[in-house]
Amino acid sequence: MINGIINIYKEKGYTSHDVVAKLRGILGQKKIGHTGTLDPDAEGVLPVCLGRATRLCDMLTEKNKIYEAVLLLGKTTDTQDITGRVLEERDTSSLTESYIKECIQGYIGEYEQLPPMYSALKVNGRKLYELAREGIEVERKKRLVQIFDITIDRIELPRISMEVKCSKGTYIRTLCHDIGQDLGAGGCMEALLRTKVGRFELKDSLRLAQVENLKETGKLSEVIVPTDAMFSELPSLTVADEYWTYACNGNPLKPEYMTKKKTVSEGERVRIYDEEKTFIGIYHYNISKGEYRLEKMFFSPSKK
């Protein structure tokens, strides 16, 4: 089984689930999970976790993201993007660049965003887009998201090209819709490209056909990011062989169980390996108990 993360370029027309399904066929393994839904018409970076690295999925979903988006002003749709049913069309000729820039820059910082009906969020066990397709609209709660920066690349009305750096949970479709409403012309998202998720960048992403070729030529391992690389900023420790069973069972580990002593502070997080350099998991130090406690296990006891 392959363990690690692969940076996939999700192509237009595929859902994130489609990508996972196709990778299962290419790689010949079932344990695969994606790290955050991209709309079918959106493209770009989609980190995919393989094997034991699927335990990272929730962590990678939390990462900040960067998008390149095209906002189409003058058109409001039920899906908040160009694929939806047009609800209203307005003239944009009276809008000035200075007014547009001032409005868009006003979204930098925290803002409350109402999740769109055409989204994968669940209400009472059902996805919102399923309800929307049945013509049912339900009440949603606004969520606080953060826009770290918006760079306007080009304004050629009715289109605005911009780069958005944002927190997890931000709907770029909804941002486009909200900007359009504030400008009084309405708006929807015409195109979306995700260029970065955490450490994963567009320039390093691979299309499914490239992954298949690497698999066939035996070079796939060259592009798999090891699970522990996601925690490279944390110090590492090695548990001695005689205490390996403690570690693989997820028990707390005393500092004297390590091959080398290390001075640590309360709550400090560390990577722990065995003497064969196999990554076991992430632990944090509990100073009152004088022990490392398991935070996330990435190890399979079947190894030994």
- Torsion angle, CA of 63/82/6/272, rounded to 10 degrees? 20
Identify whether 58 is a catalytic site residue: no
Q: DSSP 3-state assignment of 6?
A: strand
**What angle, rounded to 10 degrees, do the helices at 16-27 and 208-216 form?**
10
- DSSP tally for the chain: helices H, then strands E: 7, 17
- Secondary-structure percent of the chain, ordered helix, strand, coil, rounded to 5: 30, 35, 35
Q: Pick from 267, 266, 277, 271: which is nearest to 230 by CA?
A: 271
Question: Is-contact 71 162, C-beta < 8 A?
Answer: yes
Residues 6+ apart with CB under 8 A from 165: 64, 65, 66, 147, 148, 149, 150
- The tokens for 128 are 């919102």
Out of 18, 39, 41, 204, which one is annotated catalytic?
Answer: 39
d(CA 30, CA 144): 35
- CA–CA dist 37, 118 (Å, integer): 13
Burial 256-292 (b: 16+ CB within 10 A, else e): ebbeeeeebeeeebbbbbbeeeebbbbbbbeeeeeeb
Q: How many CB atoms lie within 10 A of CB 35?
A: 24
The set of catalytic residues is: 39
